[in-house]
Each structure stands twice: as C-alpha cells, then as structure tokens.
C-alpha cells in the first residue's frame, strides 16, 4: 500500500469509488497488511448494500461525503475510541430495512410461495430499485454472470417472464 508502510495511520479515510481501484477491494489487503489501522469509508454511496458489504469487510466507519466537517471529526474520534461510526441516515435506513425485511420475510414465506434464497432476495430488491446487473455485481461483490443466474432463478421461482413482471412481484410481495 502506497504510503502506509512509511507512516501507518491510526485511522484511514478511504473511498469506494477511486480512480483505477474499488475501495471495497482494497480493504481486505489493508486488513491483512495493517490490522491495527482503523478504516472509515468516506463516500457518496448512500445505498445499504454498499454499507453492508463494507461492514462485512470490517470497516470501522461509513460516512457520507455530504456529512458536515464537525460530524466527520466526531466519526473519526468515535472510531479512534474503538466504536463503529455509521452515517445516521444509513443507520436509520438499515434499521428500517431490517424491520421491514423481517416482516416481508414472514409475509413472503407465508404467501408468495417463491421460497427465494437470501442472495436471491438481495438481487431482487436491487433489480426492483433499478440497478443494472453490473452495478448489482459490484454492490454484492459477485460476477455479472452470477447476477444473471440469480435473476433467472428468481424469474423461474416467481413465474415472471419479463423484468416488469419481476418488479411487479417485488412490489406486491414486500421486497421494495
């Protein structure tokens, strides 16, 4: 890692979208070589799949670029003190989605009969929100081919023949 060998920081601010590199792909390398460095993603990506992926990779903070200077400094201090710092908007969104997801999961298993896997549900939600296969593959860290296979399985399980009917299924069954 350029520069980290010379001056290992306590806290590293990193972005997801950087020229020539995806910040999410760099995190495991930093974790391996510099396990004591705490990482905060400072990013424009306000979608929960990005946050979920970042947390799964072990980031210590996730702050949106729209955050004010004072809030950014608070997040840095929280991370320095061993806490996790998540942008309040996204923290609320995660909580809302988790609660809605639990209700939808119960409803879906009771009524839709589709019996979708967790990954298929993730893909379905992103498809319904209008993301392309490439964008979904980047968010979930899977290949575009894998996204396409999931979409085919979802269509088969839901009886959907077209994208529009798949989105309609998602809306009617609480996947939005």
Q: How confident is the model at residue 63 (pLDDT cuts 50, 70, 90)?
A: very high
Q: What is the pLDDT of residue 108?
A: 47
Q: What percent of the chain has pLDDT over 70?
A: 85
Burial label for 110, CB within 10 Å (0-12, 13-18, 19+), is exposed
**Residue 63 and residue 125 share a domain:** no
**Residue 112 and residue 80 share a domain:** no
Residue-wise pLDDT for 157-168, tens only, equals 888 888 778 888
Give domain status of residue 6, yes or no: no
**Residue 101 and residue 80 share a domain:** no
Q: How far apart (Å, rounded) are the C-alpha atoms in residues 104 and 119?
A: 15
- How high is the mean pLDDT of the chain? 82
Give domain status of residue 77, yes or no: yes
Q: How far apart (Å, rounded) are the C-alpha atoms in residues 16 and 56?
A: 14
DSSP category for residue 43: E
Give domain status of residue 66, yes or no: yes
**Residue 119 and residue 53 share a domain:** no
Q: Is 110 left (phi over 0), alpha (psi -120 to 50) or beta?
A: alpha
Give domain status of residue 146, yes or no: yes
Give domain status of residue 4, yes or no: no
Domain boundaries, position 65: 11-89
Among 49, 37, 138, 20, smallest CA distance to 28 is for 37
Q: What is the pLDDT of residue 110?
A: 42
Task: Mark which of 59, 89, 119 sits at the end of a domain.
Answer: 89
- Number of separate domains in the chain: 2
CATH number at residue 30: 3.40.50.2300
Examine the pLDDT at 14 and tell me if it is beyond 60: yes
Residue-wise pLDDT for 108-140, tens only, equals 444 455 688 889 988 998 888 888 899 888 888
Give domain status of residue 19, yes or no: yes
């Amino acid at each position: 890692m350029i520069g980290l060998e010379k001056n290992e920081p306590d806290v590293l601010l990193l972005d997801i979208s950087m020229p020539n590199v995806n910040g999410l792909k760099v995190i495991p390398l930093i974790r391996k070589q510099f396990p004591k460095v705490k990482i905060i993603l400072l990013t424009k990506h306000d979608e929960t799949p990005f946050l979920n992926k970042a947390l799964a990779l072990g980031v210590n903070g996730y702050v949106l670029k729209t955050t004010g200077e004072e809030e950014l400094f608070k997040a840095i201090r929280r991370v320095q003190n061993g806490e996790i710092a998540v942008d309040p908007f996204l923290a609320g969104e995660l909580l809302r989605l988790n609660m809605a997801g639990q209700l939808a999961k119960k409803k879906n298993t009771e009524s839709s009969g589709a019996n979708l896997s967790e990954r298929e549900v993730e893909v379905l939600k992103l498809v319904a929100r209008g993301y392309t296969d490439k964008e979904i593959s980047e968010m979930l860290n899977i290949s575009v081919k894998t996204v396409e296979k999931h979409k085919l399985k979802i269509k088969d399980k839901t009886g959907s023949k077209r994208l529009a009917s798949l989105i309609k299924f998602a809306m009617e069954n609480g996947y939005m």
